[in-house]
């Protein structure tokens, strides 16, 4: 009878850069552990759940890993560390969605993605603080041994009295000062070479400067966007309440004010003829709705063009945000703003512009302050809750308003023929731009699904409960 393959209990956890595996086998000696074609192979003799036997297992990872696993044997277990090729968070360990029966999460080392990011950030700050403290200490102690052994006596070097070593506040300045003395004094000791110069201080100082520069850049970008969208939101709100007194005039006074939301929604969604025929009333909106584009367009143009920086930041790795949701929002909003509203004057006087601009700015006046505080490592719970909650009603309503603007623009594009073209001979078929607008309506709601799915995952990560089954 052929022996059955025995598999040990394996527990796993992860960080952004590493995977941790704990194999429950005791008294293991000389295990065979390797990674080939992104599959971890393990085989060892040890004492496990089925007694003293040969145990083995194979795991195909979800994403690419480096083929050099590091393991450590203890009396009770085997600890394996695998480096990810790309620093990112994995949804699961294995490529197959169904978790192997022998695999389970290692709750002793398990962290959620947000907790792991905080741990990574804390370690990075601790390392940078250590370098900062070292750089503020004795400059002489930061020098490599060959440079410390050189005599320092600026008085005996002609023209160098002003170069006092006590004034060298950093290791970098001290190293440069040493080299300057050597060049002037024509000293060339056998043990001095450029390769022997320690670059640790220079590298640490540069990394601290780059980190500070990155945080400052992101803070200023989010601050400018917050100011822009706040200006739009406040101006639209003030104009609505000032110019909106008696903002609705209904032809039939028998209607109660409780029907007002239905009346306004019908005014936006239903054609005029159908609206009058079905309900027998007409609604008139004041100037605060109709001149929104002419009063707010310049600032909205600026903010939306500047938002391209977010997609670029995600693409080049300045931020850890995924590129796809950012790109979908950028292209979708700019299409509505520049093509639907910007090129069609008939659309610029419609009330739907007010709702589109107002919903966009409502989302952003909470999103950008949240990112600003994140740049300086501050967490305001109220703002965090608003950032991950306001989108729940705002995104569907914004998508609905954008869809209404596209639908209202279709007759205008058909009438004017703008952006329409005729295929060359022998086809000679006129392709109307409205055909692409109808396709865009489908893409619009698909993009809404992608963004809502992404934001839902983020919200669950911050406020949701931990999954019961993690694999």
CA separation for the pair 33, 23 (Å, rounded)? 12
Q: Which of 429, 437, 439 shows the shortest CA–CA distance to 343?
A: 437
CA separation for the pair 90, 84 (Å, rounded)? 10
**11, 55, 402, 440: which one is catalytic?**
402
Give the phi and the psi of residue 427 in degrees, each rounded to 5.
Answer: -70, -55
Give the DSSP letter string of 363-389.
HHHHHHHHHHHHHTT---HHHHHHHTT
- Active site annotation includes 402: yes
Interior CA angle at 428 toward 426 and 433, to 5°? 145
433 contacts 419 by C-beta, under 8 angstroms: yes
CA separation for the pair 302, 300 (Å, rounded)? 5
- Active site annotation includes 395: yes
- Beta pairing partners, 65: 84
**191, 395, 425, 449: which one is catalytic?**
395
Show the DSSP H helices in 151-291 as ranges: 171-185, 200-243, 260-269, 272-279, 287-290
Largest CA distance in the chain: 103
Q: How many residues does the chain have?
A: 471
Give the phi and the psi of residue 138 in degrees, each rounded to 5.
Answer: -65, 120
42 contacts 63 by C-beta, under 8 angstroms: no
Q: At what angle do helices 260-269 and 272-279 cross, to 10 degrees?
A: 140
The DSSP call for residue 167 is: G
270 contacts 278 by C-beta, under 8 angstroms: yes
231 contacts 176 by C-beta, under 8 angstroms: no
Strand positions, DSSP E, 234-354: 249-250, 283-284
CA separation for the pair 24, 461 (Å, rounded)? 30
- In the chain, the N- to C-terminal Cα span, in Å, equals 33
CA separation for the pair 165, 155 (Å, rounded)? 11
Q: Which residues are catalytic?
A: 395, 402
């Amino acid at each position: 009878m052929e022996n059955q393959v025995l598999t040990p209990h394996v527990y796993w956890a992860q960080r952004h850069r590493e995977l941790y595996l704990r194999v429950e086998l005791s008294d293991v000696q000389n295990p065979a552990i390797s990674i080939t074609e992104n599959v971890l192979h393990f085989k060892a003799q040890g004492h496990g759940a089925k007694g003293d036997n040969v145990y083995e297992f194979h795991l195909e990872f979800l994403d690419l890993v480096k083929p050099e696993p590091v393991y450590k044997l203890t009396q009770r277990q085997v600890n394996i560390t695998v480096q990810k090729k790309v620093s990112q968070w994995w949804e699961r360990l294995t490529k197959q969605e169904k978790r192997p029966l022998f695999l389970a999460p290692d709750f002793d080392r398990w962290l959620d993605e947000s907790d792991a990011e905080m741990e990574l950030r804390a370690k990075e700050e601790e390392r940078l603080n250590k370098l900062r403290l070292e750089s503020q200490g004795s400059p002489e102690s930061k020098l490599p041994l060959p440079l410390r052994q050189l005599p320092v006596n600026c008085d005996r070097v002609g023209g160098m009295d002003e170069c006092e070593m006590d004034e060298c506040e950093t290791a970098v300045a001290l190293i440069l000062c040493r080299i300057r003395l050597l060049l002037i004094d024509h000293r060339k000791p056998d043990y001095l070479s450029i390769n022997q110069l320690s670059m640790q201080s220079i590298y640490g100082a540069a990394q601290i400067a780059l980190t500070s520069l990155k945080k400052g850049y992101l803070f200023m970008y989010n601050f400018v966007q917050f100011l822009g969208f706040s200006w739009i939101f406040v101006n639209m709100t003030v104009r609505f309440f000032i110019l909106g007194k008696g903002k609705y005039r209904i032809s039939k006074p028998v209607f109660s004010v409780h029907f007002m939301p239905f009346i306004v929604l019908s005014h936006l969604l239903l054609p005029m003829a159908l609206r009058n025929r079905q309900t027998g009333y007409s609604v008139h909106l004041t100037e605060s709705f109709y001149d929104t584009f002419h009063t707010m367009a310049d600032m909205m143009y600026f903010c939306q063009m500047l938002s391209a920086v977010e997609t670029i930041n995600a693409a080049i790795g300045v931020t850890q945000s995924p590129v796809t949701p950012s790109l979908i929002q950028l292209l979708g909003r700019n299409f509505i703003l520049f093509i639907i509203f910007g090129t069609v004057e008939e659309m610029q006087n419609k009330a739907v512009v007010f709702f589109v601009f107002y919903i966009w700015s409502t989302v952003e006046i909470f999103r950008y302050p949240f990112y600003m505080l994140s740049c300086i490592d501050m967490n305001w719970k109220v703002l965090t809750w608003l950032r991950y909650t306001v989108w729940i009603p705002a995104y569907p309503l914004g998508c609905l308003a954008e869809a209404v603007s596209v639908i209202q623009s279709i007759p205008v594009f058909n009438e004017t023929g703008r952006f329409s073209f005729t295929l060359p001979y022998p086809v000679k078929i006129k392709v109307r731009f409205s055909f692409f607008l109808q396709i865009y309506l489908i893409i619009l709601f698909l993009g809404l699904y992608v963004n809502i799915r992404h934001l839902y995952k983020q919200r669950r990560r911050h406020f949701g409960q931990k999954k019961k089954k993690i694999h």
